[in-house]
Chains A and B, each alone.
Chain A
Amino acid sequence: MSFRKPLPAHLQDMQQEIEIHARDFGLDFFPIIYEVLDYKTMNEVAAYGGFPTRYPHWRFGMDYEQLSKSYEYGMSKIYEMVINTNPSYAYLLEGNSLVDQKLVMAHVCGHVDFFKHNYYFSKTNRKMIDGMANHAATVRRHMARHGQGPVEDFIDVCLSIENLIDPMSLFISREAKPGGAQDEDVKETPRIAAKGYMEEYINPPEFMAAQRKKLAAEAAQQKRFPVEPQRDVLKFLLGHAPLEDWQRDCLEVIRNEAYYYAPQAMTKIMNEGWATYWHSKILTTKALKGSEVVDYADACAGVLATAPGRLNPYKLGVELLRHIEMRWDKGQFGQEWEECDTVAAKVAWDRRLGLGRDKLFEVRKLYNDITFIDEFFTLEFCIEQKFYSFGFNERSSNWEIMSRDFQKVKRQLLDSITNRGQPVIRVVDANYGNTGELLIKHEHGGVDLDMNHAKDTLRNLHKIWKRPVSIYTIVEDKGKLLRHGAEGYSEKTADAKEFE
């Protein structure tokens, strides 16, 4: 790394101490390399998503300017940053108090343990520092040859669709199974051989007609391309869009990085909860001196603060983990627990199993935010933590608390983190209207697309696909087909049945 400076001795000692405690608790992490950065460099690294080098792009400059501004106005500062690589790099802000640094180090141990063991990180590139640098070199090379303007414009286009990926595809095979392909020549409806006079009885004409229709439908399905709708739009475009080599390179870079960051979005609540759980455990039970308690409590309160209408992933994560620990310590799980319906018995329930810690390690290994919330966000937890769902009230033009009903709150929470909070979009037909147009479909989950953004994104997709691009979606409960072609943008109402 370019700004490598040896860690000051007192911080080295601190790191050693914290890591001993963390290992004693059973955390297992990649080697961690700390860098102390001044706030300018910190903001730079933050703008680059935690990496020292990224491809040239104005968006990083914009992020940097905003980070710097909000730091200079005293509105925010970045305490810690750690990246998922092996060894892991973590950054400390120069001038933070020693208690803060200690807290950050403990927090980072939690994150790195999570990176190393959580299943959803298992496919990420642990040499991503090199990966990012290679991406930067690739993009720079293309810029040198094709000009900065065209390449940057194309990257804008790629970034505009970078969320159309399928992180789960790394773990399951979605490819259509090979085989079963019909021989093109077999067009005839199979019939049972029969003597002429028996033909009408053995192969009745109505049946034969129905069979012909069925075969034709199957053949039509086979001819559809893609055969199955594709979630990984970027991959589809890489394979099938008419791109120049340098454009394909750029799109590949964007897709690669999108996949690298996806697991972090999928486990935000758990990851932050886990790190918070451990910094609090390590500091309060081991590493904190009496004189540091007040400063620690202050910093911790800042991390866990909630504000109206704001979900704090640190808070939700750590509280849910603690709740799980408590339940498994007391044996509040299993059939007997589920079937118990007296509140008093539930409150007093304690089987003294002491399985909490083991359960936590299991959870951190196997779950992501969706499964984590789905399985462990219980009625008791919801009430205890005072969760509510909120929404926009058209009548009063206010954001309001909508409900404290457990089912509704949980539903809302799951909805908002499904697919990393992004709309689900699939490539349905790459030969739409038999004219080589691209049709994609928004799987409407109750929330409409932001129309302004959708129009602009469609325009960008058109730049990649070259032929017109349409998206089927639902706008205010009506099916709509939005289209962008050479003549510009258009939209029309569309029948949902056509797009099933």
Chain B
Amino acid sequence: MSQKIDLDQRRFRKIIRGKIKDNLRKYISNGEMVARKGKDVVSIPIPTVDIPRFKHGGKQQGGVGQGEGEVGDSLGQDGEEQPGGAGEAGDRAGEHLLEVDVSLEELAEILGEELSLPRIEPKGSEKIVAHKDRFTGIRSTGPESLKHFRRTYKEALKRQISTGTYNPKAPVIIPIKEDKRFRSWKSEPIPQSSAVIIYMMDVSGSMGDEQKEIVRIESFWIDTWLRSQYKGIESRYIIHDAMAREVDRDTFFSTRESGGTMISSAYKLCSKIMQDEYPADEFNIYPFHFSDGDNWSVDDTVTCVDLLKNEILPNSNQFAYGQVESPYGSGQFIKDLREHFSGEESLVTSEIKGKDAIMDSIKEFLGKGK
């Protein structure tokens, strides 16, 4: 049943949406949402949706309670709300942060609008994955619940005019059984393309917690956006130091090794996964690689470039390399890539200087609509 309150609720959601959009950069850089992610929704604390009023400030006010306890006993920590409604007579609602649930889909939409990200045009043949019922037609039989009010009256009007029973001075229209029109549906196959994101990350000693946090936040937003673009999307995770291995998501973000760095190892594994499991004509493939830009040797960098040129780039939609600034890394790798691939459309590089730069980096990665 639709309720009157629905309209008010919709207005409220719209305001929330605006708030999120205004504060998107802040939300993105402090990474709060990542921790608040549920299955399909993220709860977001919205601070100022409250209506301002002249009211008493909290700390001096205090209140009265009832029950056991000695003078000096604690009732609650700072940062929590004042424990009780003082006197309860005042209306205290809305003093705390409001937590609203926003679906990932909505969030992706907001992200897309704010960064003006282009919709992705999938490549490759579309595999048919789903049928969907859509109300597209009209027919003359059907259940009352699907009756098309306007069409029905239109039919009745037509009939009455043609039979001469319509009197414009007393425009009464009475539909009979034959006039009734009902909405009808058709099952339509919905073609969908599949996609896979392959995340690669350098976990050698020089990548600290802060660097990983940046990767984590950035991957959350990349996930959110790409998921809104493709229905069936998979994520794979590769970590590497001098060796590469595939891991699950949790391990990906928590592992820390101390070894040296051979980026080619990761690219080799990536290329192997692509060849074995994701034929390029069926899948949209998005490899993302994050590191601090340190590589073992110039030779290895050459190997990387070869792998990219011959195996990874031709088979993927876009290869993204994000370089996180770290006090230990030389940051050389991004320069090498830029040198070798200048003018190459499907390879994007981005330097991420800190959490504040995440938003711009996302824009660089996803801004091409590939």
Contacts and interface: CB of A to CB of B under 8 A. Distances in A.
Contacts of A403: 71
Given A307-B84, A448-B56, A450-B56, A389 B9 contact: no
A116 interface: no
A474 to B, nearest CB: 11
B314 interface: no
Given A306-B65, A308-B65, A448 B76 contact: no
B72 to A, nearest CB: 6
A389 B64 contact: yes
A421 B64 contact: no
A180 B73 CA distance: 59
B59 interface: yes
Interface stretch (A91-99, A219-227, A451-459): A451-459
B67 interface: yes
Interface stretch (B47-55, B240-248, B345-353): B47-55
B91 A62 contact: no
Contacts of B7: 56, 61
A305 B209 CA distance: 46
A59 B86 contact: no
Interface string A24-64: 00000000000000001101100110001100111111111
Interface stretch (A4-12, A311-319, A328-336, A354-362): A311-319
A398 interface: yes
Interface string A279-290: 000000000000
Interface in B1-28: 1, 3-5, 7-15
Interface string A444-472: 00111111111111001000000000010
Interface stretch (A15-23, A157-165, A338-346, A492-500): A157-165
Contact of A159 (B15, B51, B54): B51
B74 interface: yes
Contact of B67 (A53, A386, A449): A386
Interface residues of B, number: 58
Interface string B49-88: 1011111111111111111111111111111101111111
A249 interface: no
Contact of A315 (B5, B9, B66, B98): B66
B54 A164 contact: yes
B64 A311 contact: yes
A272 to B, nearest CB: 9
A265 interface: yes
A489 to B, nearest CB: 12
Interface string A361-375: 000000001000000
A460 B149 CA distance: 46
A14 B271 CA distance: 75
Nearest to A370: B89
* Residue from B1, B53, B64 whose CB has the most chain A CB atoms within 10 Å: B64
Contacts of A63: 93
Contacts of A66: 98
Nearest to A152: B11
B55 A399 contact: no
Contacts of A399: 74-78, 80, 82-83
Given A62-B49, A386-B68, A421 B90 contact: yes
A269 interface: yes
A400 to B, nearest CB: 6
B100 interface: yes
Given A59-B51, A64-B5, A400 B72 contact: yes
Contacts of A48: 5
B65 to A, nearest CB: 5
* Residue from B9, B72, B77, B93 whose CB has the most chain A CB atoms within 10 Å: B9
A310 B54 contact: no
Contact of B75 (A309, A385, A446): A309
A481 to B, nearest CB: 15
Given A309-B63, A390-B83, A442 B72 contact: no
Interface in B303-358: none
Given A311-B86, A442-B54, A389 B63 contact: yes
Given A311-B87, A313-B89, A163 B65 contact: no
A310 B65 contact: yes
A453 B65 contact: no
23 contacts: A59-B8, A59-B51, A61-B5, A62-B9, A268-B89, A309-B82, A311-B84, A387-B66, A388-B65, A390-B75, A391-B61, A392-B59, A392-B62, A400-B74, A412-B63, A416-B89, A421-B90, A421-B91, A447-B60, A449-B54, A449-B55, A449-B57, A451-B57
Interface of A: 40-41, 43-44, 47-48, 52-53, 56-66, 69, 152, 156, 159-164, 265-266, 268-269, 306-313, 315-316, 369, 385-392, 394, 396-404, 409, 412-413, 416-417, 420-423, 425, 442, 446-457, 460, 471
Given A44-B5, A152-B11, 20 more contacts: A44-B4, A53-B4, A62-B12, A64-B9, A159-B51, A265-B90, A309-B82, A311-B86, A311-B87, A312-B66, A392-B82, A416-B61, A416-B87, A421-B87, A421-B91, A447-B56, A447-B61, A453-B53, A454-B52, A457-B54
Q: Which 10 A-B pairs have the closest CB atoms?
A: A421-B90, A309-B83, A456-B52, A310-B84, A391-B62, A416-B87, A61-B12, A61-B8, A61-B9, A397-B78
